[in-house]
Each structure stands twice: as C-alpha cells, then as structure tokens.
Amino acid sequence: MAIMTTRALAVVVCMLLSLTQGSLLSRAKQTGSATVVWDINVPVLTIDDMAPSAAIIMRARVVSVTNRLSDDETNVMTDYAFLPIRLFKGTVSAEAQPAPPRRLVVSRVGGTMKVDNLTLTSRVSGFSQDDELVPGEEVVVFLARVPGGSTYEISGGPNGVFRISNGVVDGWTKEIRGRRKDRPEAVADFEQRVIRASSVRRQTK
C-alpha cells in the first residue's frame, strides 16, 4: 500500500489556495482575522500499513508545540519538537551514545496564531483543538522523509501519531480513533506490534 503524507495529500489544495486566496496576513489586515480550511479525505492507516515505508519510528516526548506562519504566508503551521526516547526504526542522531539525542522538529499544516493582534487560522478537517499534542506527553510517531529534503513529516497525517497516557496507547485524534476502531492498548503490547511491523520490508513493484 502506498503511504501518503499530509503534505502529499494536500499539495494540490495548497497550490490552489496560494493562487486564489493569497496571504493570510494580508487578508487579516482587512477584517481582523483570516481562516483557511483544508478539507482533506485522509485514508485510515494502521501501523502495519505505515511501518514498512516509515523512515523513522520512535517513542518520544513532546518538548514544545509552536505555531508559525508559512514562508509564503498562506498557512499557519504547527511545529512539534520531539525528544526521542526509544527508536524502533531509523536514526535520529549520529552522535555516539551516551550523548543525548537531538530533538527532532516536525511540522504540519494547521493551527491558530496571533500576529499584531490579528488572528490567523489554518483548520484541517479531522483535527480539533482538543486533539492537539501538549508539551510533556509521550507519543509513538511514524515519520516519512520529505521528498527531496533532509527533513521529516508525520506519515499518514493524523494516522501517524499514537498518544501514551497512564500506561496505555491510543490514536491521535478522535476522528481517526473512531474510523480505525482504535482501542486503548498496553504500551508493551503496542511496542511489540510496532517492532514486528518495523521488521517487514517495504514491497516495491
């Protein structure tokens, strides 16, 4: 199964928005706020779907969650800084242990921010404010390499993050949990499934 990231799923939409709606900041200066809505039909993906093509799979702690305006000012972006705790696949830092691993910053489209008292919002279907990650929580995250670059993005959009709380693992967003029929699972059991899925080589045609 071909795995598409949020970036790949939305690239055409992003181009159209850039051409037709222009800068969020410029629009907000006229009315005090500006919102762009991404209506994306994200397919449901399991860890078995995502693991073979993921570049990095890791258990990590969320260090920070920050919003910024994209370089072309057409979207609000959310940047997540992850501190790796355990790697299941891939390499985050080439530095020799026990030196601390470097933080990995991953971005997604979506979020709300204020610039000069102007409210800018990019809203992505399937995400709500209640779904947002918070600093200090632990997650298991599947990452894909951005085509043509050395940075990473979340594999499968909202499919690619699993939250850890009180010793159990569950899906990232309420919508994905419902569509994928997720059930809370003990961390040890979930990690064993991730290890098994990570050992499967990606099939190429």
Mean pLDDT for all residues in the chain: 85
Question: What are 183's two structure tokens?
Answer: 């059930």
Q: What is the arithmetic mean of pLDDT over 1-18? A: 45
Q: Where are the domains of the chain?
A: 6-198
Q: For residues 25 and 37, what is the distance between their CA atoms, to the nearest angstrom?
A: 15
Residue 129 reports pLDDT greater than 80 = yes
Residue 65 reports pLDDT greater than 90 = yes
Residue range 6-198 forms a domain whose CATH class is mainly beta
CA-to-CA separations, 200 to 50, 89, 137, 196, 197, in angstroms, rounded = 11, 11, 28, 7, 6
Could you tell me which residues come within 8 angstroms of residue 20 by beta carbon, excluding any fewer than 6 positions away? none
pLDDT for the residue numbered 12: 37
Residues 107-122 have pLDDT tens digits of 999 999 999 999 999 9
Residue 22 reports pLDDT greater than 90 = no
pTM, two decimals, is 0.83
Give the residue, 127 or 140, on which the prediction is more confident: 140
Cα-flanking dihedrals φ and ψ of residue 92, to 5°? -100, -40
Give the residue, 190 or 13, on which the prediction is more confident: 190
Question: What are 142's two structure tokens?
Answer: 């599947």
**Comparing C-alpha atoms, which of 3, 13, 174, 2 is closest to residue 109?**
13
Residues 140-186 have pLDDT tens digits of 999 998 887 778 999 999 999 999 999 999 999 999 999 999 999 99
